[in-house]
Amino acid sequence: MQLETISSISTPVGEGAIAIVRLSGIDALEIADKLYKGNKSLSEVDTHTINYGHIIDPSTAETVEEVMAAVMKAPKTYTREDIVEINCHGGVHTVNRVLQLTLKHGARMAEPGEFTKRAFLNGRIDLSQAEGVMDFIRSKTTEASKVANQQMQGRLKTYIESLRQSVLNILAQVEVNIDYPEYDDVEETTTSFLLDEAKKVEQEIEQLLKSSSEGKILREGLSTVIVGKPNVGKSSLLNYFIQDDKAIVTEVAGTTRDTLEEYVNVNGIPLKLVDTAGIRDTDDIVEKIGVERSREALKNSELILYLLNNNEALTAEDMEILDSIADQKVILIVNKLDLDNRLDIADLESRYPGMPVVKTSIVNSTGVDELEEKIADLFFDGSIQSTDSTYVSNNRHISLLEQAKQAVSDAMDSAEMDIPVDIIQIDLVKTWELLGEVIGEDVSEQLIDQLFSQFCLGK
């Protein structure tokens, strides 16, 4: 079935050097030729060439725009359909006029993510690669983009296909047992083979799932809260990380009244950094709300950066908060080393042995490098192996892999209880199908629509 030709602006809306209107579909060249005037019609030029010309409004013969038109003919294109990309000057009005002309002369407005959806439907990429495209667009650090790029190139697909083949090999052996039940030694051999090979599959799935926490951090950012009493340097630390003065820094306690959120890159790890209001008892109604939000942010964080003032002794209030977060990942930051030492750091380390201590003077940029190293140590053992590892970060993938692991585990349990192999086969087939769903085999049309609706227009 031939799909309608679609069109959309594929660059961000706003003023810029270049804006691109993209067409894809069986009539892409024909529609573009109705509007384009150059030395040759676009249907006649070689594929994968870029061509100078003008866009003309056929109804008025008005020259709308001076353009470079890129022509890519099927099947060697992103969607495996004919594609024309009209490169315009980057003004909002003009590029919209070009888009409207393509719609007026036969194209349909593309839905969010529809170009990538067509790449999937036409077999150019699998579903995990399509999701990698979305992750690549949204990546916030170099390491996150590397991981997404590997998924785009089919690294996860290759891994899953290998696992599915292993399950098929087990199923083939089970079939032998079903077809030749009269041979007792066949059943014994089949059970032994099934347990050995199923265990390998289970271990491979476990290995993928182990990467999921790190993969989700790279994909979504590590939810990090900066917390401490008023005026210990929380906003200064936020400003240092983002290299900007977004947080107000003063000597007045209670300046920060609400939580501030920013994404920052720390040794390749994206931190979703939250600067909170100083935690203290207060009668100020607005500040009190901010303190409550700070306490709520503590509960939902994956990393807590707890600041203490080197110039002040540890208080009962500090100890109460630290005791309440003892089971979370916390880095203690003793700030203001440039001031006189009144904090017993040895006592602090003794009270909270599981919390790394970093000494800083944020105003002098002292100790912050060590803090960044501690964060990497805490979550990635010091470094991110983005070039060597296959990371799973997508919630859909994680859920399917957990179900597949349970299914293969059920098959192993059944084999050990001498349950007939044709019953065991049901769990193995379920494992194979669940792994297939990761890469888009046998997924519902509703799920596909839902996934691609999360893409931006024009992609």
Report pLDDT for 375: 85
Confidence of residue 308 (pLDDT cuts 50, 70, 90): very high
Kindly report the CATH number assigned to the domain that includes residue 267: 3.40.50.300
CA distance linking residue 437 with residue 109, whole number of Å: 29
Give me the count of residues in the chain.
459
Name the 3-class secondary structure at 284: coil
On whether both 181 and 255 belong to a single domain, the answer is: no
Which residues have CB under 8 Å from 3's CB, separation 6+?
25, 26, 81, 118, 121
Q: Read off the amino acid at residue 364.
A: N
Helix (H) or strand (E) segment spanning residue 6: strand 6-9
Residue 458 falls inside a structural domain:
no
- Closest to 386 (Cα-Cα) out of 268, 302, 264, 271: 268
- Is the model's pLDDT at 16 over the cut of 50? yes
More confident residue, 376 or 310: 310
Least confident window among 27-36, 164-173, 396-405, 415-424: 415-424
Residue 211 falls inside a structural domain:
no
Q: Please say which residue of 330, 350, 380 terminates a domain.
A: 380
More confident residue, 154 or 36: 36
Which residues have CB under 8 Å from 255's CB, separation 6+?
230, 235, 248, 249
More confident residue, 232 or 4: 4
On whether both 225 and 370 belong to a single domain, the answer is: yes
Report pLDDT for 282: 46
Q: Please say which residue of 91, 124, 157 terminates a domain.
A: 124
Strands (DSSP E) contained in 211-310 are: 222-228, 260-266, 269-275, 303-309
On whether both 248 and 341 belong to a single domain, the answer is: yes
On whether both 231 and 345 belong to a single domain, the answer is: yes
CA distance linking residue 440 with residue 435, whole number of Å: 9
Kindly report the CATH number assigned to the domain that includes residue 173: 1.20.120.430
pLDDT (tens digit, 9 = 90+) per residue, 95-121?
Answer: 999 999 999 999 999 998 899 999 998
- Is the model's pLDDT at 247 over the cut of 50? no
On whether both 295 and 415 belong to a single domain, the answer is: no
CA distance linking residue 185 with residue 251, whole number of Å: 82
On whether both 309 and 253 belong to a single domain, the answer is: yes
Confidence of residue 332 (pLDDT cuts 50, 70, 90): very high
Which residues have CB under 8 Å from 188's CB, separation 6+?
none
On whether both 89 and 140 belong to a single domain, the answer is: no
Domain count, the chain: 3
Confidence of residue 185 (pLDDT cuts 50, 70, 90): low
CA distance linking residue 72 with residue 48, whole number of Å: 5
Residue 209 falls inside a structural domain:
no
**What is the share, in percent, of the chain residues with pLDDT greater than 70?**
82
Confidence of residue 50 (pLDDT cuts 50, 70, 90): very high
- Is the model's pLDDT at 86 over the cut of 70? yes
On whether both 185 and 316 belong to a single domain, the answer is: no
Whether residue 75 is preceded by a cis peptide bond, meaning omega within 30 degrees of 0, is yes
Q: Read off the amino acid at residue 445.
A: E
On whether both 289 and 172 belong to a single domain, the answer is: no
Report pLDDT for 416: 87
CA distance linking residue 265 with residue 241, whole number of Å: 8
pLDDT (tens digit, 9 = 90+) per residue, 376-415?
Answer: 888 776 555 555 456 676 788 889 999 999 999 999 999 8
Please state the pTM of the whole predicted model. Answer: 0.65
Mean pLDDT of the chain: 82
Encoded tokens for 250: 């003063």
- Following DSSP, what letter does each residue of 85-102 receive, concatenated? EEEEEE-HHHHHHHHHHH
Give the residue numbers spanning the domain of 407: 130-202+393-450
Q: Please say which residue of 69, 96, 124 terminates a domain.
A: 124
Residue 385 falls inside a structural domain:
no
Residue 178 falls inside a structural domain:
yes
Kindly report the CATH number assigned to the domain that includes residue 57: 3.30.1360.120
On whether both 372 and 233 belong to a single domain, the answer is: yes
Cβ–Cβ under 8 Å, residues 106 and 58: no
Report pLDDT for 378: 81
Residue 459 falls inside a structural domain:
no
Encoded tokens for 230: 């008023």
Report pLDDT for 24: 97
On whether both 357 and 401 belong to a single domain, the answer is: no
Q: Residue 83: beta bridge partners? A: 24, 72
CA distance linking residue 116 with residue 113, whole number of Å: 6
Residue 29 falls inside a structural domain:
yes
- Is the model's pLDDT at 239 over the cut of 90? no
On whether both 163 and 57 belong to a single domain, the answer is: no
- Is the model's pLDDT at 445 over the cut of 80? no
Residue 228 falls inside a structural domain:
yes
Tokens 């182990």, residue?
210
